[in-house]
Amino acid sequence: MLTTLSERLGAIFGRLASRGRLTETDVNEVAREVRVALLEADVNLAVAKDFVAKVKERAVGADVLASLTPAQSVVKIVYDELVTLMGGAQARLQFSDAPPSVIMLVGLQGSGKTTQVAKLGLRLKEQGRRSLLVAADVYRPAAIEQLRTLGKQIDLPVFGEAGNEPVKTASDAVAEARRIGISTVLIDTAGRLQVDDEMMRELERIKAAVSPKEILFVADAMSGQEATTVAKEFDRRLGVTGIILTKMDGDARGGAALSIYAETGAPIKFVGIGEKVSALEAFHPDRLASRILGMGDMLTLIEKTQSVYSLDQAKSLEQKLRKNDFTLDDFLEQLRQMRKLGSMSDLLKMIPGMSKALPKDVEINEGDLRRVEAIICSMTGGERRRPDILNASRRRRIALGSGTQVSEVNRLVKQFEASRQMMKQLGGKRPRFPFAGLPR
């Protein structure tokens, strides 16, 4: 998502790089092109016009026009305004002084509220806060059962029974959380296909009954400007305190991410980046702005790596690399850890400058990684430790067992040996990244 906008802005600023100085005419031209790029990304018209006006106001200043690197100055201005447009700084969840803290999730049907309740519960659990998941959506078939299934996956209790009245369910859940000493209550509320007064009145009654510390509107990023329009109505009736933007891993234009804060005043607090229960990230306006402008996002990449790779594992790997004792077993473990981080194409684009270096629409075939895993799993323990014993007959057996070709087995072994030789030549040099031993 937002890839097209990133490419358009990159092309605009790329043309500026060849110019020694910028005139006011140049700035006006850039402003027009940026506005078109934003509108094509489905950014709200009023938001796009206001954004461009602010960029233009700053860009026509003498400090930019007289600069020896005006293109860089304009990029910096656009970056600053993008960050401001999306809220300025990370917005964190607020918790009550006296537990339990109640968090309501609201939104239209199909936006992903039930899944986001579980995702948020898991995220808080990882931070040391245990949550009670509340099934207050008694209208959608199987909604309660879905939440119970998700609750089992993440080992969190679920409160709610089919046929119960939603307001009473929410009130009883808060009382139960207080009784058993659970610090946070996450309420999954009912939605409709579109905003209606009956739904809103029910949500207002739940709000009055449980006094939530946070009311999070769950917005489907694929719905574009419609998400912004609906969020404004929910905010008017309920006072939304934050946004969870789902399906940010999709291929929609992504204008909701750039419009919703400006239109509602409610900051985006989390983004959903996949269907897994763990696929929820805190929203950082500065990091997304950096990625939109092709500057990478090393902080998120580091956080992702740390989430699946402990310091002890990194030290153990470093010792193996130093002693040239890195085996195919170690490589398999590395491969599995990397796959936990998400799409390899997305990870590469988090490295500064990599998005420009990579070919357009580059995609790393995840199937190739699965075939590599299958090849290694078809080897015996001795073959993984000593790939030099892999003669022709062994390689044919491995290819047959993994459903691959002998040529693929040969290529993997060759790349692995080349990687070991490279690390041997580096000698005592300290590897800079946990995955430094992987062959390309």
Per residue in 119-147, pLDDT (tens digit) is 999 999 989 999 999 999 888 778 889 99
Strands 184-188 and 158-159, by their bridges, are unpaired
Mean pLDDT along residues 69-77: 74
Q: 368 near 402, Cβ under 8 Å?
A: no
Q: 372 near 335, Cβ under 8 Å?
A: yes
- What is the overall mean pLDDT for the chain? 79
Q: How far is CA 74 from CA 30, 54, 61, 273, 352, in A?
A: 9, 12, 11, 30, 19
Task: Out of 201-210, 233-242, 303-312, 398-407, pick the least confident.
Answer: 303-312
Q: Is the pLDDT of residue 251 over 90?
A: no
- Report pLDDT for 89: 81
Of 124, 31, 86, 420, residue with least CA distance to 256: 86
Residue in the block written with tokens 């199937």? 367
Q: 434 near 305, Cβ under 8 Å?
A: yes
Question: For residue 415, what are its two tokens?
Answer: 């790349």
Q: Report which of residues 27 and 388 the model is more confident about.
A: 388
Q: How far is CA 69 from CA 13, 14, 73, 80, 155, in A?
A: 12, 12, 7, 17, 55
Mean pLDDT along residues 275-300: 75
Question: For residue 45, what are its two tokens?
Answer: 């018209």
Q: Report which of residues 16 and 191 the model is more confident about.
A: 191
Q: Is the pLDDT of residue 360 over 60?
A: no
- Report pLDDT for 62: 56
Alpha-carbon gap, residue 210 to 273, rounded angstroms: 30
Q: Report which of residues 328 and 378 the model is more confident about.
A: 378
Q: How far apart are the first and last CA of the chain?
A: 27
Question: For residue 103, what are its two tokens?
Answer: 């968090």
Mean pLDDT along residues 367-390: 87
Q: 433 near 341, Cβ under 8 Å?
A: no
Alpha-carbon gap, residue 128 to 124, rounded angstroms: 6
Query: DSSP assignment of 196-263, as one string?
Result: -HHHHHHHHHHHHHH--SEEEEEEEGGGTHHHHHHHHHHHHHH---EEEEE-TTSSS--HHHHHHHHH
**HSE toward the beta carbon, residue 55, CA cutoff 13 A:** 31
Query: DSSP assignment of 285-315, as one string?
Result: HHHHHHHHTT---HHHHHHHHHHH--HHHHH
Alpha-carbon gap, residue 108 to 244, rounded angstroms: 13
Mean pLDDT along residues 163-174: 90
Task: Out of 135-139, 222-226, 284-288, 338-342, pick the least confident.
Answer: 338-342
Domains and CATH numbers, the chain: 3-85 (1.20.120.140), 101-284 (3.40.50.300), 301-426 (1.10.260.30)
- Report pLDDT for 168: 92
- Report pLDDT for 304: 57
Q: Report which of residues 193 and 404 the model is more confident about.
A: 404
Q: Is the pLDDT of residue 191 over 60?
A: yes
Task: Out of 233-247, 375-389, 390-404, 422-436, pick the least confident.
Answer: 422-436
- Report pLDDT for 75: 79
Alpha-carbon gap, residue 411 to 396, rounded angstroms: 13
Q: Report which of residues 409 and 12 the model is more confident about.
A: 409
- Report pLDDT for 231: 85
Q: 56 near 31, Cβ under 8 Å?
A: yes
Q: 229 near 16, Cβ under 8 Å?
A: no
- Report pLDDT for 171: 93
Q: Is the pLDDT of residue 110 over 80?
A: no
Q: How confident is the model at residue 430 (pLDDT cuts 50, 70, 90)?
A: very low
> Which neighbouring-strand residues pair with 132?
185
**HSE toward the beta carbon, residue 434, CA cutoff 13 A:** 23
Q: 280 near 116, Cβ under 8 Å?
A: yes
Task: Out of 16-30, 162-176, 273-287, pick the least confident.
Answer: 16-30
- Report pLDDT for 186: 95
Please enumerate in sequence order all residues whose Cβ is within 8 A of that of 410, keeping only pairs 6 or more positions apart, or say none.
Answer: 395
Q: How confident is the model at residue 350 (pLDDT cuts 50, 70, 90)?
A: low
Question: For residue 252, what are its two tokens?
Answer: 């929609």
